Amino acid sequence: MERRSLALATLTAVIVLTAGLASAGASQPNASALIKISLIGDSDLARVEAAGVPVYARLTGGGESYLLAGASPEEIAALQSMPLDVDVLDASPGGASHYLVLSRSQRQLSSLPPRVRILSYDGVQTLIRATQADAEMLAAEELEITALSLEPITLLPRHGEIIPKTIEPDPLVASMITQVDQTELYQYEEWLTGEEPAMIGGVPYTITTRHTYSGEPVEKATQFVGEHLAVLGLDVEYHSWNASFPPNVIATKPGLVDPDRIFIICAHLDDMPAGEVAPGADDNGSGSAAVLVVSHILSQFEFGCTLKFAFWTGEEQGMLGSNAWASRASGEHLNILGVLNMDMIAYNSDDAPFMDIHARSWLPDSVAMANLFADIVDAYSLEVVPEVLIDDPLGNYSDNGAFWDRGYTAILAIEDEDDFSPHYHTVDDRLSTLNLDYFAQFVRASLGTFVHASDCLIPDGIGYLEGHVTAASRGDAIANAPISIGHATADIGSISTDGSGYYTRTLPTGSYTLTVQASGYVSQSVGGLRVSRGQVTTQDFALRPLAIYLPLCVR
Ligand SMILES: [Zn+2]
């Protein structure tokens, strides 16, 4: 970590110079400026929410927590009167692009071209105003960048706490974990990094690079993963988020009981550097190979909730693909309950198998998921040592950030920052540099965490409950009759009959109680209904009308 303080000295000088310039820029009288709002007091966030200004990023760095937002001069005055600590970083951001840059060494900072305007520096990350070309040049300089999208972020978690706080080791999960095979990981890496030709579209093809702008090679890489996912019987979407970029690839295993509850395990597929050759074995061939292996194993089992296996593109250009998809998901109100993002998970040069798990304090379930990861390592005696990092700025620089910004639960699983691949973003990031034991253990822990976090594995398969609800008197169908489904361990929820009085529900095998409560009828309950694997259990209900007692009027 000391490497960062060297960076600080050099850059402070630069900031003072340019900040003055930025605020002097020509601005439209009521145009929104790009501002920084420091979160000092506990109620500061609520004040910002009350002010209703669009917030674009929530950051921590150098021991402070702050927001980047947009505000007109009037709004700035209102914010300052609340009082809130507000700095104008760019008085006229209109049309310009802004990026957050993370630097891991002093050498990197000094490479910033003079035309790039530095707007702020928090001791770890720098906010710059730059063209996309400049930003990508920085990425080529092994700097981590993330584009600052001017789409307002969600400041609060989207759902209550659902991630299990405690777990019981499960023999079925243990059997899945042992299926994680080093050889299979190695084989996928060979194909993804061009060490060996891969079969794509039935033809051998050598993937020499997966760089976002490489054209055919990266397109082939997306086809490669898509084909492997399709063979597993998963629904595969090629999500084209920009005509000039390769698509994201997302495979879905629909939930059998609660399909609208969604869990995602993911990794970015694109890599660095630009040019003919970019193996990207650790960054991020390792995460991609892990998603392929996990999808292969989990596709053999049944889950009540929906699982998605996702490969993002455009990550190295600022999480462009994942932001596009997460923005669409948010717009569609997808009920995403957990995202496990793996980025650089196979380099470990020392005997200490440390790894970092990043979470955000303002998303309690992301902290719960990070702690769950650590519990999984203990419960299944896995040979990695996770360190849970809360609000560490490094966590912003991978695709999990796109989900944090929309209030979704997510974690980043990444190799130890203090034993980080020295081949990062170079042509030397090759398969031969990876630690396969560490890699396999990392994937086992990720798979176990994903399955336990989803908490919807159906160990004994599924069956079907169905029947008709009618009026006992003349047998008329009763439509929209609410039926609640109870189970020994939990209330499964309720369904209702259709126009013909028919109902059906897919359920994990087990014993259930059904209760029908149609208005105007005596409610009815039937318990001990056995649902067996692949079988249809039929239970009809004939409801008696409620007796209506009319008061006798005695004259
Ligand atoms: Zn990466």
Q: Cα–Cα distance between 511 and 527 in angstroms, integer? A: 8
Q: Where are the domains of the chain?
A: 21-146, 171-454, 462-543
Q: Find the 474 Cα to ligand 1 centroid distance in Å.
A: 66
- For residue 137, what pLDDT band results from cuts at 50, 70 and 90? confident
Give pLDDT, residue 376: 98
pLDDT band at 555 (very low <50, low <70, confident <90, very high): low
For ligand 1, the distance from its centroid to the CA atom of residue 167, given in whole angstroms, is 30
pLDDT per residue as tens digits for the range 210-241: 999 999 999 999 999 999 999 999 999 999 99
539 or 6: which leads in pLDDT: 539
**Candidate from 409-418, 441-450, 524-533 with smallest mean pLDDT:** 524-533
| Dist CA 94 CA 413 (whole Å) | 35
Distance CA 262, CA 339 (A): 9
Q: Which residue did the predictor score with more confidence, 108 or 479?
A: 479
pTM for the whole thing? Answer: 0.85
How far is ligand 1, taken at its centre, from the CA of residue 503, in Å?
47
CATH 3.40.630.10 fits 171-454, yes or no: yes
pLDDT of residue 336: 97
Distance 282 CA to ligand 1 centre (A): 8
Q: Is the pLDDT of residue 24 over 60?
A: no
Q: Which two tokens stand for residue 123?
A: 């001791």
Confidence at residue 417, expressed as pLDDT on a 0 to 100 scale: 94
pLDDT at 109: 62
Q: How far is the CA of 66 from the centre of ligand 1 (A)?
A: 25
Output the pLDDT for position 403.
Answer: 97
How far lies 49's CA from each of 28, 181, 427, in Å? 25, 48, 46
Residue with the larger pLDDT of the pair 431 and 117 = 431
Whether residue 107 has pLDDT greater than 60: no
3-state secondary structure (DSSP) of residue 152: coil
Length of the chain: 555
Protein fold of 462-543: Immunoglobulin-like (2.60.40)
Q: Which of 121-125, 264-268, 297-301, 409-413 comes out lowest in average pLDDT?
A: 121-125
Distance in angstroms (rounded) separating the CA atoms of residues 196 and 199? 10
pLDDT confidence bin for 140, thresholds 50/70/90: confident
Per DSSP bridges, beta strands 117-121 and 125-129 are antiparallel
Distance (Å) from CA 259 to ligand 1 centroid: 30
Residues 6+ away with beta carbon under 8 Å from 124:
4, 61, 62, 102, 393, 394
Q: How confident is the model at residue 151 (pLDDT cuts 50, 70, 90)?
A: confident
- Ligand 1 centre to CA of 274 (Å) is 14
More confident residue, 356 or 160: 356
Beta strand 354-359 with 385-390: parallel, antiparallel or unpaired?
parallel
Distance 152 CA to ligand 1 centre (A): 25
- CA–CA dist 516, 519 (Å, integer): 10
**What is the average pLDDT across 155-171?**
89
Q: How far is the CA of 262 from the centre of ligand 1 (A)?
A: 24
* Beta pairing partners, 470: 477, 542
| Residue 202: both structure tokens together | 């039935």
Q: How confident is the model at residue 329 (pLDDT cuts 50, 70, 90)?
A: very high
**How high is the pLDDT of residue 553?**
65
pLDDT digits (tens, 9 = 90+) for 330-348: 999 999 999 999 999 999 9
Give the Å distance between the CA of 107 and the centre of ligand 1: 20
What average pLDDT does this structure show over 60-71?
92
Question: In the structure, what pLDDT confidence band is assigned to residue 477 with cuts at 50, 70 and 90?
Answer: very high
Cβ(321)–Cβ(401) under 8 Å? no
Helix (H) or strand (E) holding 338: strand 336-342
Question: pLDDT per residue over 266-281, tens digit each?
Answer: 999 999 999 999 999 9
Is 17's pLDDT higher than 50? no
Q: Which residues surround ligand 1, an ion (CB under 5 A)?
A: 283-284, 343
Coil, strand or helix at 440: helix
User: Is residue 452 a contact partner of residue 307, using CB atoms and an 8 Å limit?
Assistant: no
Distance CA 448, CA 41 (A): 38
For Cα atoms 404, 408, 413, give the angle at the middle one, nearest 5 degrees: 60
The pLDDT tens digits of the residues spanning 178-217 come to: 999 999 999 999 999 999 999 999 999 999 999 999 999 9
8 Å CB contact between 176 and 451: yes
Query: Which residue has better confidence, 9 or 138?
Result: 138
pLDDT recorded at residue 105: 56
Structure confidence at residue 145 as a pLDDT band (50, 70, 90):
confident
What pLDDT was estimated at residue 18? 43
* 531-547 mean pLDDT: 91
Task: Note the pLDDT tens digit of each residue in 479-504.
Answer: 999 999 887 766 677 889 999 999 99
- Write the pLDDT tens digit of every residue in 398-443: 999 999 999 999 999 999 999 999 999 999 999 999 999 999 999 9
Structure tokens at 27: 């601005």
Interstrand relation of 117-121 and 98-102 (parallel, antiparallel or unpaired): unpaired
Query: How many of the other CB atoms lie within 10 Å of CB of 14?
Result: 17
Cα-to-centroid distance, 237 and ligand 1 (Å): 22
Q: How far apart are the first and last CA of the chain?
A: 94
Answer whether residue 3 shows pLDDT above 60: no
pLDDT of residue 122 exceeding 50, the answer is yes
Give the separation between CA 457 and CA 491, rounded to whole angstroms: 17
Task: Output the six-digit token pair for 88.
Answer: 């104008």
Q: What is the mean pLDDT of the chain?
A: 90
**Residue 116 pLDDT > 90:** no
Which DSSP letter does residue 283 get?
Answer: I
